[in-house]
Chain A
């Protein structure tokens, strides 16, 4: 079931999504043979404490989170985690974040060539502090600028994780493809809100949070499909996958691979369950390779 995605040869189609797999050392009980790759928790140049609690709230078939990209900063990542990754039998992409395009570029430069770092996933859902806090991912020029800033500093694979909070994801997808992205991850969490009816205030201290889980899956399948129709680079589907059938929907919708996220919180072995279910589907339907799986990608 190996697949080629954005400059990487993966042993299977199922990766661990950023923010749901830590730095790869935390998730217990997973049968790692099934793990095709992982995307690290989002990292900034500097350490970040994260947001005040409550940070999560469960909603129907989903959860809101506002963790605030808590993390140790890039130097601790290079010191504590990259040496472990270098010995692992699957690639680790580092999810990189910044407040300006140049900060993303600096991060890429610092991590380029560090053993254990196989590539990058750019989180463009960050506010651009130099542009009044507008999100990079909502503006094709800003999204392209960030992608270029990273592309110039590394020859490693560069994936860009698209935000769903846009009116036309194809425009952003084409902009970052033109700026040098090797693949797209579609999509990040949806911004949502939930109210505490005892405290008369939002359930999250940050007020809003990113919605993930099965609640967003049809929305994510649609956006991943739109992105896949807009570009020639591979799209990695992500959003609410808990079972093999969910992953197969993204693949049929035009994705080359998938990421499993929130499901891992509930079932530590979710990635292996999804992987095995895809293999079983392929065998049952008589497909020798994932390339044989029919994709629904009308070009009109």
Chain B
């Protein structure tokens, strides 16, 4: 785990209202795995850091994907090249990619695309065939970056790809990894209880101390999205008890 002041070095738009920010953070970039996250704080910003799944990591650079949904994300989007963010990471448990798997479906809704490029990288490195299944409400909200893998798109309004949900559009695969709104992940859990999902919760510290990011478990009790998660076996989460109305939609 590293804590570093990371200058902004890259900024590009990948969908309507959705941006990728790249920060120079060599230690984190060299060690992060798909599904892990960074906790980002800004001087003069909100008190608490904000958790972001790492989108890409290469060449000393860590990328995150975000949308302006609150004061913190708005302030991040207003950053200029060279402005510094405090980056803590990599945090949390990554996707587990067993070598026995031959195919993986990466299912994402909206900003849930966040951990998928890194998951795709790790899967390709493990010799697993990657299929992206990515959905959004409308075509212009679909993320435009899919790394040359096989891609299935879906939109709620039918303006691009298959009309309907990503879960309905997805093929079966040896391995299913999913990230998106908790309601979507609950549907994933119904169809593939063994899928691995990266859940979204509010977070305080991101390091396992504050117990703020409680995830309700089917076996009873809670554990911490930041430490035991954010990647879970879908069937292990008590989806009825996990809030699905969070007012920011940053997956981590």
- Confirm or deny: B195 has a beta carbon within 8 angstroms of a beta carbon on chain A: no
Bound complex: CA of A154 vs CA of B231, how far in Å? 44
Q: Are A61 and B47 closer than 8 Å at their CB atoms?
A: yes
Q: Are B88 and A56 closer than 8 Å at their CB atoms?
A: no
For residue B166, give the distance in angstroms from its CB to the closest CB of chain A. 23
Partner of B47, one of A53, A55, A264, A266: A266
List A residues 37-56 near B (Cβ within 8 Å): 49-56
- Confirm or deny: B242 has a beta carbon within 8 angstroms of a beta carbon on chain A: yes
Q: Are A49 and B222 closer than 8 Å at their CB atoms?
A: yes
- Confirm or deny: B100 has a beta carbon within 8 angstroms of a beta carbon on chain A: no
Interface size on B, residues (CB 8 A): 32
Residues of A within 8 A of B242 (CB): 53
For residue B88, give the distance in angstroms from its CB to the closest CB of chain A. 7
Q: Are A21 and B211 closer than 8 Å at their CB atoms?
A: no
By size class, the interface of chain A is 35 or more
- Confirm or deny: B171 has a beta carbon within 8 angstroms of a beta carbon on chain A: no
Q: Are B210 and A53 closer than 8 Å at their CB atoms?
A: no
Chain B minimum-CB-distance residue to A201: B245
Bound complex: CA of A57 vs CA of B201, how far in Å? 11
For residue B224, give the distance in angstroms from its CB to the closest CB of chain A. 10
Q: Are A67 and B41 closer than 8 Å at their CB atoms?
A: no
- Confirm or deny: B9 has a beta carbon within 8 angstroms of a beta carbon on chain A: no
Q: Are B245 and A265 closer than 8 Å at their CB atoms?
A: no
- Confirm or deny: A70 has a beta carbon within 8 angstroms of a beta carbon on chain B: yes
- Confirm or deny: B97 has a beta carbon within 8 angstroms of a beta carbon on chain A: no
Q: Spot the interface stretch: A22-30, A137-145, A161-169.
A: A22-30
- Confirm or deny: A268 has a beta carbon within 8 angstroms of a beta carbon on chain B: yes
Q: Are B211 and A53 closer than 8 Å at their CB atoms?
A: no
Residues of B within 8 A of A62 (CB): 47
Instruction: Determine the main DSSP class of A at the interface with B.
Output: loop
Chain A minimum-CB-distance residue to B201: A53
Chain B minimum-CB-distance residue to A262: B47
Q: Are B212 and A56 closer than 8 Å at their CB atoms?
A: yes
For residue A33, give the distance in angstroms from its CB to the closest CB of chain B. 17
Whether A213 touches B222, Cβ cut-off 8 Å, given contacts A198-B245, A269-B3, is no
Q: Are A265 and B202 closer than 8 Å at their CB atoms?
A: no
- Confirm or deny: B208 has a beta carbon within 8 angstroms of a beta carbon on chain A: yes
Contact with A along B128-144 (1 / 0, CB 8 A): 00000000000000000
Whether A65 touches B3, Cβ cut-off 8 Å, given contacts A54-B246, A266-B48, is no
Residues of A within 8 A of B47 (CB): 58, 61-63, 213-214, 262, 266
List A residues 78-126 near B (Cβ within 8 Å): none
Residues of A within 8 A of B216 (CB): 52-53
Residues of A within 8 A of B221 (CB): 49
Q: Are B222 and A50 closer than 8 Å at their CB atoms?
A: yes
- Confirm or deny: B103 has a beta carbon within 8 angstroms of a beta carbon on chain A: no
Partner of A265, one of B1, B48, B201, B222: B48
Residues of B within 8 A of A22 (CB): 208-209
Residues of A within 8 A of B204 (CB): 56, 63, 65, 265
Q: Are A29 and B3 closer than 8 Å at their CB atoms?
A: yes
- Confirm or deny: A259 has a beta carbon within 8 angstroms of a beta carbon on chain B: no
Residues of B within 8 A of A54 (CB): 201-202, 243, 246
List B residues 40-97 near A (Cβ within 8 Å): 41, 46-49, 88
- Confirm or deny: A292 has a beta carbon within 8 angstroms of a beta carbon on chain B: no
Bound complex: CA of A196 vs CA of B209, how far in Å? 25
For residue B38, give the distance in angstroms from its CB to the closest CB of chain A. 13
22 contacts between A and B (CB under 8 A): A21-B209, A28-B207, A29-B3, A49-B222, A52-B214, A52-B216, A53-B214, A53-B241, A54-B201, A54-B243, A55-B212, A56-B202, A56-B212, A58-B47, A63-B47, A65-B210, A65-B212, A70-B214, A196-B245, A196-B247, A265-B204, A266-B48
